[in-house]
Chain A
Amino acid sequence: MRLEAPCRIRHVDLAEGIPDLPAEPGAKSLLVIFWWGRVPLGSDHLSTAELPLPRSAVLHRAARLVTAAVGDRLFDYGFKACLPVHRRRMPEDRPPDLAALNGAVRPLATIARGPDVDREDTAAPRPSVSLIICTRDRPDALKRCLMSVAQADGLDQVVVVDNNPGNRATRRVVDGFPGVAYLAEPRPGLSVARNAGLAATRGEIVLFTDDDVVIEPDWPLAMVRAFIAPEIMAVAGLVLPAELESAAQIAFEQELGGFGQGFRAMEFDAEFFSAMKSRGVPVWRLGSGANMGFRRTVFDRVGLFDERLGAGASGCSEDSELWYRLLAIGARCRYEPSAVVHHYHRADWATLTHQVRAYTKGHVVALFVQYWRWRHAGNLRRVFTSLPYYYLWLVKEGCRRGFGLRQRLLPSELVGWCAGLWAALALWRRGAHVGEFVAVGQTGSETDA
């Protein structure tokens, strides 16, 4: 069911017993996230008119909604998430094994002490982990974020990159947290800031998050666990909404898909890449820059974040473009839902439309950048065919079912799409469309320093 603002979010840990869901006065809908201990397993959308719900009803809804995620963690096949491929060009999952299903007694307790957790104690020493948080003029949000970082385990180094600092507010916030390093990066742009953070850190695994999130205490450990196979080069985690009070936040989470990619893990590889190459590989479906991590060796192999992309430059997609490079050279990327951060979506509509414009523009520029680098025509197909077709489809749906929140965002997207074309044209005329991989130690910020 569709959520409506204001919407409350409730986290239910099934391991601690199932509560009755009381009425929620003042709210129109309720988003329930089901957890088993520290593992998120599923979500339920409720209208507050359905409340109160007794325990038994919550139990049966929970059991139904967490089944896929539990099955994904328990079994090798039968419950795998579908990769975002067009018309099933990848081999389909087999039906689950009956004997294994019959043997699944206390499945939730089994996933809680899963094989990954066991291996952590016995395997090779834990890699060193650095966390990079890029921020710009949001000291209050940053403080909230750093408070959650202070509670987290498994971080060896935390660096806040203050991008284009206007005043000392950010510095003062960071100084309040011992163990968090402050780094000023005067050149604007999220890619620039991320690259500066990379140069200043030394962890074998580099995690990124944004200033407008709150991380779960075990997020760093869960991210590191997701790198369990040596061929996995990048990991993105689950981004849950931290609040859904306003229509703008609901629209972002629901109409634009939010940042979350579900409660089942996905592994993206060369096979996925080739299945989607002709249509523009949907790398943005890996996750989001608010919750991602890389092996440091990645940046030696495919270069740093592209400084033409990202907030402050084209608008966004610096994260997904790096994933594109990784998949294009045959590396593996993983979406790992047990690594959770909570994101505060933009609360007011004007900021949201601005964000949508920037996202669309950044997306279009990234598609051009990917085309210039790899000559994969699918990227152009997406710019000139798939996206316009999608916008037309939205209009058609609007005529059929009524113009809703999704359609209200369409003008911003169209403006963003045009702006993206214009920005790509500008890059091309400047000759900036040819770009080799930039390696560590070659960025502008470091030569300036």
Chain B
Amino acid sequence: MTYVMHDLEVTAPLPTLAIPPTARGYALVLRRRGRVVGFMMEPATGGTVIEPAALAPIITAEVGAKLLQESIAEELDPSSSQPAAMPSLTIAICTKDRPARLQRCLSWLLRQVEPGREQGQTIEVLVVDNAPSDDQTRKLVEGLAGVRYVLERRPGLDFARNRALAEARGEWIAFLDDDVVVDRGWLAGLREAWAENPDAGAFTGLVLPYELATPSQIIFEQRGGFRRGFDKVRYGACFPANSLYPCASGIFGAGCNMAFRRDLMIALGGFDEALDTGAPLPGGGDLDAFFRVVRAGHVLVYEPQLLVYHEHRRELTALRRQYWSWGLGCMAFLAKCYRVDPPVRPIIFRFMAWWIKYQVKEGLRSLRRGGPPLSMVLAEIWGGIAGVAGEYSRSERRIERIRRAFP
């Protein structure tokens, strides 16, 4: 019940793909000269072998145009391959009781941080330990050179993020979740985005699956996962391609891989601590941050080279909970927008209409073969209903209690 994942360089001779007997398909991360250009998931019978000659047209059907597009972009801007300078950077990882995942995340990250520092960029790595139940995380971080440990006792992801904002010393601050692994081109992608968009206030990046080992992970990725495409996008005051802009804040990216200009984020008041509060309302904080950056007149850039691999939920129950939290977080975020940003109310109503229509469509699709499991759709709808029904106000009261409990 797995998909084998391969990282393929399309300019090199293609390998022969052997699908293991237990696998149900394969997934390819496609690169052109090291730069990621595409991702594909194909079902395949276990035990088959795909020869390079058969694989090539499958790949070009998916990324043929993108390969040529990259080649054109290179021709138009021959200087783009040179590494650009970058202002000082803080990479913040907010974590809670997951030392094994944190260690994996840090070990991949530090491999890039060292060369980055040698090239003259000031890079700080900050681990915010959020309301830990033991000292494993602290011990882990203290054993690593060049990583700073900060303790945030108030439970809630956005408490931790705001703590990181306050503690960071870099002009830019990048946030990673502990369950991601950065790609080898992650830091270069951040520099590229900054060099191309020195006026930007925030960057988001591509998120691909770390593994596709369980049905839950496969379902999640087949429903689109966190992918937001392989083209750079510059989001400004308006974005005519999306009529629900900027309330459809999910198009910007995801909170497990984002970066902000630190002074801008502080000026905007940091993250909303009533969103992303952990168990009761585990989502929406990232959407809200992107939304406010764009609404404040700043540019947000989606950069696919800023790539991380996310370990999706392995269990179906955890996945169901994730969809529930998406519906909940999204609707809580909209409820907040409705309250604090009256000019976008008409867009919120249209977004709601779209959302309902989308969920109905997904529900109908789940009744057919090959559709998503109905329970996942229902979980998201249920989360959405709870989100509309005053979850944001309840959450505000909850965090007020937390603030009082940890003066």
Contact = CB atoms under 8 A, between A and B. Distances in A.
Given A95-B64, A102-B11, A14 B196 contact: no
B282 to A, nearest CB: 34
A78 B241 CA distance: 26
B235 to A, nearest CB: 10
Contacts of B341: none
A252 interface: no
Interface string B1-38: 00000000011001000000000000000000000000
Interface stretch (A59-67, A146-154, A348-356, A432-440): A59-67
A66 B72 contact: yes
A50 interface: yes
Given A64-B231, A67-B65, A98-B10, A1 B241 contact: yes
B266 interface: no
B232 interface: yes
Most buried by A among B73, B77, B197, B240: B240
A353 B373 CA distance: 52
A78 B11 CA distance: 18
A244 interface: no
Contacts of A18: 76-77
A101 B72 contact: no
A185 B79 CA distance: 60
Interface string B216-244: 00000000000000011010111111000
Contact of B238 (A45, A49, A63, A97): A49
A78 B234 contact: no
B65 A59 contact: no
A102 B10 contact: yes
Contact of B72 (A2, A49, A57, A70): A70
Contacts of B65: 67-68, 71, 79
A106 B199 CA distance: 30
B279 interface: no
A448 B149 CA distance: 99
Given A67-B65, A79-B65, A97 B60 contact: yes
B56 A56 contact: no
B59 interface: yes
Most buried by A among B69, B197, B234, B241: B69
A104 interface: yes
Nearest to B67: A101
Contact of B71 (A47, A57, A94, A105): A105
B71 A107 contact: yes
B66 to A, nearest CB: 8
Contacts of A101: 60, 64, 67-68, 71
B61 interface: yes
Nearest to A4: B240
A67 B197 contact: no
A126 B179 CA distance: 68
A82 interface: no
Contact of A50 (B11, B56, B57, B236): B236
A57 B238 contact: no
A126 to B, nearest CB: 31
Interface class of chain B by DSSP: helix
A388 interface: no
A418 B329 CA distance: 56
Contact of B234 (A47, A57, A94, A102): A57
A105 B67 CA distance: 11
Given A56-B197, A102-B11, A108-B75, A96 B238 contact: no
A109 interface: yes
B15 to A, nearest CB: 13
Contacts of B240: 1-2, 45-47, 50
Interface string A65-104: 0111011001000110000000000000011111101101
A101 B71 CA distance: 9
B71 A104 contact: yes
Contact of A70 (B59, B61, B68, B238): B68
Contacts of B231: 60, 64
Contacts of B72: 63, 66-67, 70, 107-108
A107 B72 CA distance: 6
Given A49-B238, A101-B60, A57 B196 contact: yes
A418 B93 CA distance: 70
A234 to B, nearest CB: 30
A108 B72 CA distance: 7
Interface in A261-314: none
A109 B222 CA distance: 39
Contacts of A49: 236-238
B60 A64 contact: no
B56 to A, nearest CB: 4
Contacts of B64: 71, 78-79, 95-96, 98, 101
Contacts of B237: 49-50
Contacts of A109: 75
A95 B70 CA distance: 17
Contacts of B197: 54, 56-57
A53 interface: yes
Contacts of B68: 67, 70-71, 74, 79, 96, 101, 104, 107
B54 to A, nearest CB: 12
B76 A98 contact: no
Nearest to B33: A102
Nearest to B59: A98
Contacts of B195: 56
A95 B71 contact: no
16 contacts: A1-B240, A14-B76, A18-B76, A54-B196, A59-B73, A59-B76, A60-B232, A71-B68, A95-B60, A98-B60, A101-B60, A101-B67, A105-B75, A106-B75, A107-B68, A108-B75
Rank and list the top 10 A-B pairs by shortest CB-CB distance, nearest first: A1-B240, A56-B196, A95-B61, A63-B73, A49-B238, A96-B64, A98-B56, A95-B60, A67-B69, A63-B72
Given A98-B64, A107-B71, 20 more contacts: A1-B241, A2-B240, A54-B196, A54-B197, A56-B195, A56-B197, A57-B196, A59-B73, A59-B77, A64-B69, A67-B69, A79-B64, A79-B65, A95-B60, A95-B61, A98-B60, A101-B71, A102-B10, A102-B67, A107-B68
